[in-house]
Amino acid sequence: MLYIVPTPIGNMEDITLRAVRILSEVDVILAEDTRTSGKLLKHHEIKTPLQSFHAHNEHGKLDYVMQQLTEGKNMALISDAGTPGISDPGFLLTRSCVTNGIQISCLPGPTAVIPAIVMSGLPCDRFFFEGFLPHKKGKKTRIEYLLSLKETFAFYESPYRVVKSLKMIQKLSTVTRQAAACREISKLYEECITGTIEEIIEKLEAKTQVKGEFVVVVQGHRS
């Protein structure tokens, strides 16, 4: 059986009792980065063996992992932070398990997009999650599509590109929109900057240095 186990996006206490138990009981934990995950396991006194399984080796290791599962081993898949498969490795293995009749259980748990949308103060009864925007090719077209949506939309962005992406959204938007830029969620320096897109850009540009991955949340199109 394969367990998909979400891990904390920041604070190591944000893990369920069930997740700790599953990670302690399985035969092997497949980790995106064994160094990062090793710190989490040590913190919770989990001694299960770790194996690397990430975007750069999952194609090469997939057959081996599937063989282990077929032979009866129980495995857990974790990413560096959050829920595997949500803008993280995991889809390829999950699809293979479904195709080959391997039982899967995905535990509920952390993902950065939900707290960011809730903290934004924007409507969250319905929303569109984009994941990561294209870095270059297709970015303008994708933003134009997002701006056409009536629902609140959210996407992940690096601290190095967040201002550039917000400026493109501001340029392509025909109306003033409320937004939020959230970073370091659940960590010591958690910050959620709200206001119009222009106001958020000004606040970010006023900082000498911006750290931490961002979740950007933007108001939907108003007819």
Give one DSSP letter per residue of 27-88, joined into a string: SEEEES-HHHHHHHHHHTT----EEE--TTTHHHHHHHHHHHHHTT--EEEE-SSB-TTSSS
- Compute how many other C-beta atoms are within 10 angstroms of the C-beta atom of residue 203: 14
Per-residue pLDDT of the chain (223 residues; tens, 9 = 90+): 999 999 999 999 999 999 999 999 999 999 999 999 999 999 999 999 999 998 888 889 999 999 999 999 999 999 999 999 888 888 999 999 999 999 999 999 999 999 999 999 999 999 999 999 998 899 999 999 999 999 999 999 999 999 999 999 999 998 999 999 999 999 989 999 999 999 999 999 999 888 899 999 999 998 5
Residue 174's DSSP bridge partners are none
Give the per-residue pLDDT at 223: 52
Residue 216's DSSP bridge partners are 155, 181
Q: How far apart are CA 113 and CA 131, in angstroms?
A: 9
Stated pTM of the model = 0.90
What domains sit in the chain, N to C, each tagged with a CATH number? Answer: 2-106 (3.40.1010.10), 113-218 (3.30.950.10)
Length of the chain: 223
Give the per-residue pLDDT at 58: 86
Those residues whose C-beta lies under 8 Å from the C-beta of residue 183, and which sit 6 or more positions away, are 159, 190, 191, 210, 211, 212, 213, 214, 215
SS3 17: helix
Q: Where are the alpha helices (DSSP H) in the chain?
A: 17-25, 34-43, 58-70, 91-99, 113-120, 139-148, 162-172, 197-205
